[in-house]
């Protein structure tokens, strides 16, 4: 029996607009629409949370299968052909100088660029996700009218509800907004080029669990979603040397 029921319709609509839409980041309220208190120490409930392994495996590079009658792969991970459009083997392969699907050399550099960019995008998202998972075992939230703080013990992230700012991200420069949408606290980071990220924090219907949803997507990158459920802890988060995020 599931212990949480996140407000999926609201989040889905928000993600659709924020991850795939044009323009800047979303705008959120400086105060919740109803009284809500997310503050306290929380410990990850693995049984109630999504298993991250399928998401991680989806992002890992996939091996390329070769057919006996195909020229060697160009390393781009695509089956259209080598970057120079040659596709020739020692004086004459079937198809002459054509690509694997019968095309010429037209457009091959663009194909390689796209594939290399896809590989870079997946590897960057994988690193982001692995770093996020490494610190997600426990969490302390401090909630105040002028600041929302996520303290993982090894890293501290501070946000101003309702504010929009420019921050550094894995992709370079990104727009960031955070604040309240109903009873949820939303953090939206949208880079100028790269994969957008939306994090939401809310209480489950029972009021005893914290629900965090992480959504990644935008552009040609397929949407990814990961839900984590936390139980209230009766002790503070273990303290390491913190870093500010």
Q: Would you state the pLDDT for residue 117? A: 60
Q: Where are the beta strands (DSSP E) in 101-154?
A: 138-144, 147-151
- Kind and range of the H or E run holding 119: helix 108-134
- Mean pLDDT across 31-51: 95
Contact 102, 95 (CB under 8 A): yes
Least confident of 107-116, 123-132, 219-228: 107-116
Residue 51 clears pLDDT 80, i.e. is over it: yes
- Mean pLDDT across 18-35: 75
What would the two tokens of residue 66 be?
């070769």
Sequence-distant (≥ 6) Cβ neighbours of residue 81 within 8 angstroms: 74, 87, 98, 99, 100, 101, 103, 108, 111
Burial of 90 (0-12, 13-18, 19+ CB in 10 A): exposed
H/E/C letters for each residue in 191-242?
ECCCCEEEEEEEECCCCCEEEEEEEEEECCEEEEEEEEEEEECCCCCCCCCC
Least confident of 33-47, 69-83, 174-188: 69-83
- Mean pLDDT across 152-179: 93
- Kind and range of the H or E run holding 173: strand 172-181
Average pLDDT, the chain: 75
Global pTM?
0.68
- Kind and range of the H or E run holding 180: strand 172-181
- Mean pLDDT across 80-109: 44
Q: Would you state the pLDDT for residue 175? A: 95
pLDDT band at 115 (very low <50, low <70, confident <90, very high): low
Residue 70 clears pLDDT 60, i.e. is over it: no
pLDDT more than 90, % of the chain = 42
pLDDT tens, residue by residue, 171-222: 789 999 999 999 999 999 999 888 899 999 999 999 999 999 999 887 677 7
pLDDT band at 228 (very low <50, low <70, confident <90, very high): very high
Q: Would you state the pLDDT for residue 218? A: 75
Contact 174, 162 (CB under 8 A): no
Q: Would you state the pLDDT for residue 150? A: 97
pLDDT more than 70, % of the chain = 64
């Amino acid at each position: 029996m599931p212990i949480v029921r996140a407000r999926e319709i609201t989040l889905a609509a928000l993600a659709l607009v924020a991850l795939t839409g044009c323009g800047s980041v979303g705008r959120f309220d400086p105060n919740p629409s109803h009284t809500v208190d997310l503050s306290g120490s929380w410990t990850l409930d693995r049984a109630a949370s999504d298993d991250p392994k399928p998401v991680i495996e989806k992002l890992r590079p996939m091996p390329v299968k070769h057919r006996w009658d195909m020229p060697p792969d160009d390393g781009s991970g695509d089956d259209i052909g080598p970057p120079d459009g040659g596709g020739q083997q020692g004086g004459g392969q079937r198809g002459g100088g054509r690509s694997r699907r019968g095309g010429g050399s037209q457009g091959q550099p663009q194909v390689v660029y796209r594939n290399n960019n896809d590989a870079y995008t997946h590897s960057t998202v994988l690193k982001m996700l692995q770093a996020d998972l490494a610190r997600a075992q426990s969490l302390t939230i401090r909630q105040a009218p002028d600041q929302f703080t996520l303290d993982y013990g090894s890293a501290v992230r501070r946000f101003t509800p309702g504010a929009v700012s420019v921050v550094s991200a894995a992709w370079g420069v990104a727009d960031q907004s955070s604040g309240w949408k109903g009873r949820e606290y939303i953090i939206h980071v949208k880079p100028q080029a790269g994969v957008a990220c939306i994090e939401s924090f809310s209480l489950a219907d029972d009021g005893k669990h914290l629900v965090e949803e992480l959504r990644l997507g935008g552009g040609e990158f397929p949407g990814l979603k990961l839900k984590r459920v936390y139980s209230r802890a009766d002790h503070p988060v273990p303290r390491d040397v913190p870093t500010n995020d």
